[in-house]
Structure 1
């Protein structure tokens, strides 16, 4: 039995244990995708109660370092994709610059009846919009489900399936003569529904981040409304605040 914990320390035992396990992950001793010891195994190894071990694992799970698969055990999570919110960003370009292999699977590309909420976001009176729905992968791991709503004038993008699967849609906007000036985003913590969870290969109710984006052109006209479902355990967002 390992005795690496200090019972006389003011630091709670569960936090001491979570730090020991965190170091195993950060050092690479436990690699991405590895199955970690069960709660019972950790109880025996460190001489702790099951409640203390469970609390330590919850701490790591909340940090996104581990995740559970029902009936299969607990695993080391893949490293998070960091995204800086201090400037306008393109998911595709940012990842490609870091050497991440990016790909997309087209799920839908069609003209559809425009929901009233979408019409309001795009400030249009037309009853139809052009929808692009795609699942985006980083090194073969599905990380973002995008639903992109555009005015009908953008329907010609439907001829660019290969480009949409490989790269950034903003490159296509540029080819069409549309210059992006800014975007406004809202973030909301949600849980995946059954359909979304199936696409990501996770359980229904898996935590996710819903990002709503409205993109404006150089004339301050909104031309893109995007709703992205992002795996909460795979992406990290940061912003620098200046006084």
Structure 2
């Protein structure tokens, strides 16, 4: 796979570099790449210009280019391998490979992620407040709530509640509810707003789930369930969504990922 010629890097900058935006250059470059990828300028599997080509085509230093590429790789928009450069990731990966519900068998040394399927069972907008309000910065805005069931390997059912500021993500409020089933909401948001999830904060708590949760998932009524809470942030640090996963006891292992302490 050959790298793009320098003129292609320059054409990318002409099309997507926004001189009017008064934001840090690494953020501007990250946004330019995200928008160009979502619009199909770079297709899945395409090799991006080299760091040297980007330095020559943009008003960015090498350190700024490297930081933007690291941010894109961290968000899953591109992959970076020594000797291979930066390659556009497949953003159409199925929900069978989610970020948060990555279960695998205890005895599986390969730690292969078990398939996960989703079904939406409810959606509503309101000005209701709750644990999500402070993290999302909710004031008098409507919140959109989407309730889903994650079926892991077709034998473990997890109840998910997703919250976001409705006016930020109108695409989640419109259209056929059934069309959200099986959707990777993280990718859906990225496609509409050209801004991927940059980082997440995860916490575990334990609580007795509401009775209507246990009617749909494998949590036991009146018994404590493990709740994985996820808050996702964009590149600017603005919270994008708040999500709870009510998980019943299981012999599966949940992979919470690896965090680097370097850089």
Q: 1:107 aligns with which of 87, 101, 121?
A: 121
Q: Please report how far the alpha carbon of residue 163 of structure 1 lies from its aligned counterpart in structure 2 after TM superposition.
A: 5.0
Q: Please report how far the alpha carbon of residue 101 of structure 1 lies from its aligned counterpart in structure 2 after TM superposition.
A: 4.2
Alignment CA distance shift 1:218-1:232 (3 Å): same
Match status 1:179 vs 2:196: yes
Indicate the larger mover: 189-198 or 224-233. 189-198
1:64-91 CA distance string (max 9 Å, x none):
xxxxxxxxxxxxxxxxxxxxxxx88997
CA RMSD of aligned residues (A): 3.3
Q: Structure 1 stretches of 5 or more lacking a match?
A: 1-86
Match status 1:147 vs 2:161: yes
Q: Please report how far the alpha carbon of residue 214 of structure 1 lies from its aligned counterpart in structure 2 after TM superposition.
A: 1.0
Q: Structure 2 stretches of 5 or more lacking a match?
A: 1-73, 77-93, 104-110
Q: 2:232 aligns with which of 212, 215, 223?
A: 215
Alignment CA distance shift 1:242-1:181 (3 Å): closer
The SS at the match of 2:216 is: helix
Higher Cα radius of gyration: 1
- Partner of 2:10 in structure 1? none
Alignment CA distance shift 1:121-1:169 (3 Å): same
1:148-188 CA distance string (max 9 Å, x none):
11111213223264553113211101111232110111101
Alignment CA distance shift 1:222-1:183 (3 Å): same
- Partner of 1:157 in structure 2? 172
- Partner of 2:211 in structure 1? 194
Instruction: Please give the alpha-carbon distance, in whole angstroms, between the structure 1 residues aligned to 2:131 and 2:116.
Output: 31
Q: 1:229 aligns with which of 227, 231, 246?
A: 246
- Partner of 2:221 in structure 1? 204
Alignment CA distance shift 1:193-1:132 (3 Å): closer
- Partner of 1:138 in structure 2? 152
* Structure with greater strand percent: 1
